[in-house]
Amino acid sequence: GAGVSQSPSNKVTEKGKDVELRCDPISGHTALYWYRQSLGQGLEFLIYFQGNSAPDKSGLPSDRFSAERTGGSVSTLTIQRTQQEDSAVYLCASSSRGTPTGTIYFGEGSWLTVV
Amino acid sequence: EDQVTQSPEALRLQEGESSSLNCSYTVSGLRGLFWYRQDPGKGPEFLFTLYSAGEEKEKERLKATLTKKESFLHITAPKPEDSATYLCAVQTSNTGKLIFGQGTTLQVKP
């Protein structure tokens, strides 16, 4: 597709279960970002991939959160042993290059509800 | 510490009533400043990127400007369809990640 694609668009899971969220960036984009947005809040940085460089994981809130990017394209954000406070929209973004800044485009997000 | 602050938090305008949104930032090195529009239940929609002080960009009723300390998003003669949350973000030169402000929620009444 032409834009950043995220799946699932909505996910309801039970507390304690693991979830995987997927992001398909725009074709050819080397930079990929994950953000979290809780209800009525701003965007919280989680992790940033740029090409083959080591990812910037400084925003991951706990060791229950991890992300990988396979083949420099698709990324998966995994949340283990989900907690109710993990309920949020998880947004993925991509851009064509890290330096200088390319336009950074966002997907529509994956809405996660932990019950 | 890198920081982005947007004001006001909320803004109500009558249709046609022009105004400005503010984004103040403190960063160790600015690679770019981004403005996004976000509608309820949607991902942020890209509007502008500004790279250096003095730069201005326009799109329809929106105009973004940048100084060394802040950016303004000017809305001229807004329409109800301009109602949304406007997000400002800075990309730092040493990390590459975007740091977002809390947003300004704009409501334009007919």
Which of B98, B99, B104, B105 is the mutation pick for testing A, counting most A CBs within 10 A? B98
Residues of A in contact with B98 (CB under 8 A): 33, 35, 43, 45, 93, 104
Distance CA A50, CA B97 (A): 10
Q: What is the DSSP track for B9-74?
A: SEEEEETT--EEEEEEEE-SSEEEEEEEEE-TTS--EEEEEE-STT-EEEETTEEEEE-SSEEEEE
Q: Which residues pair with A5 in a beta bridge?
A: A24
List, for chain A, all residue ranges whose pLDDT scores fall below the cut of 70. 1, 97-101
pLDDT in tens, chain B (110 residues): 889 999 999 999 999 999 999 999 998 888 899 999 999 999 999 999 999 999 999 999 999 999 999 999 999 999 999 999 999 999 988 778 889 999 999 999 99
What integer pLDDT is reported at residue B79 of this predicted model? 97
Q: Would you state the structure tokens that stand for residue A33, as one six-digit string?
A: 């970002």
How close does chain B come to A33, measured CA to CA in Å?
8
What integer pLDDT is reported at residue B23 of this predicted model? 98
What integer pLDDT is reported at residue A1 of this predicted model? 52
Residues 6+ apart with CB under 8 A from B82: B61, B75, B106, B108
